[in-house]
Amino acid sequence: MSDEWRVPSSGGVDDWPEEPEAWAPTGIDVGVPSVARVYDAILGGKDHFAVDRVIADKAMAAMPNARVGARLNRAVLERGVRYMAECGIDQFLDLGSGLPTVRNTHEVAREHNPEARVVYVDNDPIVLAHGRALLAENDRTRVVTADVRDARDVLSRPEVAELLDLERPVGLLLLAVLHHLADEDDPAGLVRAYREALAPGSFVFITHFSDATPEGRELERLFLSTLGSGRFRSRETIESFFEGTEPVEPGVVFLPHWRPDTPVRDESAYAGLTMLGGLGRVPDGRRGRAHSRS
């Protein structure tokens, strides 16, 4: 690991100092919040700075069950990766992956196929630091620091080309990512750019905040004013991101309803949560061909 990272010599996550500012990479302004670190704080992690905790606290004040929602997003990741692995997917590209936490993509995938390969992509350099520490001896997992908005750059990175064979099906993950792209970033075009690079039989997995509730709209205002991103969208818009794929049942639904392991009985457990998710399969046929839902 490069000397520029001030991390404990053991390199293990459990050995990070209690104050994460002590291991911040040089040149990083610890007074500027990060989406990945705010998410870590909401989840109850410890790999974030004081400024991230302030925003997390505000988010949980605006939506008291925000932590439940964040954990539901992690839980649906596990169910989605498991579904794709059971369909034979053995390579995954996890965009905007965030900081490592429990039940990461590679852990779930390898329970079904020990040879599964995973590339994580995030624009926060601290994600790279943690990834290097966790995966130092793992030759089937890579962590790439890149801007997911530049699909051409991401897909041409050596770490991606060396580990993933884009001539074979891939599981593409965009979990809690697209709502941090403004409309002018053309999130639909971005999804299309990635999808058209995938082989038939690949999957596109998306979760996204919906603007359907007052709590969601308040959280959107908070994110925009503090993080500078956070565009909550309608169900119809979120469904449109899957154009060109075949929807996997049950379609785009609130996260607890996406192929739950046990029946959902307590609706109050996620009352006010507005995150929707779904999975689409790239149909058989020529790569890059658009298939309309109509």
pLDDT at position 292 is 38
Reference 178, options 92, 105, 242; nearest CA is: 242
pLDDT at position 268 is 54
Average the pLDDT over 6-14 and give the result.
30
pLDDT, one tens digit per residue, over 225-274 is: 666 666 889 999 999 999 999 999 999 998 888 999 887 766 555 555 67
Q: Is the pLDDT of residue 94 over 90?
A: yes
Chain-wide mean pLDDT for the chain? 78
pLDDT at position 289 is 45
- Percent of the chain at pLDDT > 70 equals 70
Q: Is the pLDDT of residue 15 over 60?
A: no
d(CA 237, CA 278): 13
pLDDT at position 127 is 64
- CATH number for 73-214+229-281 (one of 3.90.1150.10, 3.40.50.720, 3.20.20.70, 3.40.50.150): it is 3.40.50.150
Q: What sign does the dihedral 48-52-58-59 (CA atoms) show?
A: negative
Q: Is the pLDDT of residue 34 over 90?
A: no
Average the pLDDT over 102-108 and give the result.
83
pLDDT at position 270 is 57
pLDDT, one tens digit per residue, over 140-182 is: 888 888 999 999 999 999 989 999 999 999 999 999 899 889 8
Peptide bond into 247 cis (omega under 30): no
What angle in degrees, to the nearest 10, is found between the helix axes of 35-43 and 125-134?
Answer: 60
pLDDT at position 18 is 44
pLDDT at position 290 is 42
pLDDT band of 214, cuts 50, 70, 90: confident
CB 192 within 8 A of CB 110: no
Q: Is the pLDDT of residue 205 over 60?
A: yes
pLDDT band of 5, cuts 50, 70, 90: very low
pLDDT at position 129 is 65
d(CA 287, CA 48): 40
Give me the residue spans of the domains in the chain: 73-214+229-281
Q: Is the pLDDT of residue 130 over 70?
A: no
pLDDT at position 206 is 97
- Least confident piece of the model among 19-23, 118-122, 209-213: 19-23
pLDDT at position 229 is 66
Average the pLDDT over 190-196 and give the result.
97
d(CA 56, CA 171): 30
CB 259 within 8 A of CB 250: yes
pLDDT at position 38 is 72
DSSP per-residue string spanning 25-94: PTT--TTS--HHHHHHHHHT-S-S-HHHHHHHHHHHHHSTTHHHHHHHHHHHHHHHHHHHHHTT--EEEE
pLDDT at position 240 is 96
The whole-model pTM stands at 0.76
Q: Which H or E run includes 254? A: strand 253-254
d(CA 264, CA 236): 24
